[in-house]
Amino acid sequence: MTDMTIGKVADVVGVGVETIRFYERRKLIEQPSRPREGGYRIYSDATVKRLHFIRRAQELGFSLKEIAELLELRDADAPRADASNVQQRAMAKLRDVDQKIDQLRQIRQGLAALVDRCPGQGPLRCCSIFEALEQNAVPASRPTVSEEIGMQTIRLSIGGMHCHGCEEIVRHVLEQQTGVKGCSVSHESGEARVAVDESEISDEQLAEAVRGAGYSANIMNIPE
């Protein structure tokens, strides 16, 4: 596995050739050795590892800048290069991610409210969404469609179901909730319809239950 040229390395690590050169320019990896002046780059195992590191750290949400700092820590045998330093950075990033999630949740809230208050047909001016956007606030109260219909069927968008077994599990979980009268689950469409008495359980509680089983779940506000 040693002595790979840039193309092989790119394949192994799962990035583009240009990307590796880009990292080199950004000094995330050192200049690889070459057989002669102007020859091909030959990558050591250490550098390949380094690239893996970069890739994984990126997947965890670290920016290239932050990764550079982590790598510097790793290289330095300096006293400050200890585990607590690294852990602190990871924790900071965790807080970061939590914040982003919260922000997205708020956005989600706003969007869901908007969608819910839209008649879904007719001319534009019927869509309070639009008017709401022109003012500087989300429409606070207004009977939602769900309220008008007195909806009994909740639809959930569920991620992470890969097989029939997953369906069974989700069904199982849903049916164990109080207030659930029945449900159908499809891993193909990634969707569940749940017949509930809404006075007994909320849609969010339902979603949370599904999440507790390890799937992602979000409420789909508009039936059909």
Alpha-carbon span 89 to 102, nearest angstrom: 20
User: What DSSP element (H or E) covers 140?
Assistant: none
Q: Shortest distance, CB of residue 77 to DNA, whole angstroms?
A: 26
Inter-residue contact 210 to 173 (CB < 8 Å): yes
Alpha-carbon span 145 to 224, nearest angstrom: 13
C-alpha closest to that of 115 among 223, 224, 221:
221
Q: How many CA atoms lie within 13 A of 155 on its CB side?
A: 11
Residue whose token pair is 């965790």:
94
**Minimum CB distance to a copy of itself smaller for 35 or for 204:** 204
Q: Shortest distance, CB of residue 35 to a copy of itself, whole angstroms?
A: 26
Task: Record the tokens describing residue 152, joined without a space.
Answer: 């009994």
Instruction: Tell me the CA distances in angstroms from 35 to 44, 50, 66, 123, 213, one per residue in order.
Output: 13, 21, 32, 70, 54
Q: Which amino acid is at 71?
A: L
**Minimum CB distance to a copy of itself smaller for 5 or for 128:** 128
Q: Shortest distance, CB of residue 6 to a copy of itself, whole angstroms?
A: 18
Alpha-carbon span 214 to 187, nearest angstrom: 14
User: What DSSP element (H or E) covers 205?
Assistant: helix 203-212
**Minimum CB distance to DNA smaller for 64 or for 201:** 64
Contact partner, 130, from a copy of itself, DNA, none, Cβ < 5-8 Å per class: a copy of itself
Contact partner, 7, from DNA, a copy of itself, none, Cβ < 5-8 Å per class: DNA
Contact partner, 146, from a copy of itself, DNA, none, Cβ < 5-8 Å per class: none
**Minimum CB distance to a copy of itself smaller for 158 or for 196:** 158
**Minimum CB distance to DNA smaller for 63 or for 152:** 63
**Minimum CB distance to a copy of itself smaller for 54 or for 196:** 54
Which residues bind to DNA, rule: CB under 7 A? 5-8, 15-19, 21-22, 25, 34-36, 38-41, 58, 63-65
Alpha-carbon span 200 to 71, nearest angstrom: 52
Contact partner, 21, from DNA, a copy of itself, none, Cβ < 5-8 Å per class: DNA
Contact partner, 72, from a copy of itself, DNA, none, Cβ < 5-8 Å per class: none
Q: Shortest distance, CB of residue 5 to a copy of itself, whole angstroms?
A: 20
Contact partner, 115, from a copy of itself, DNA, none, Cβ < 5-8 Å per class: a copy of itself
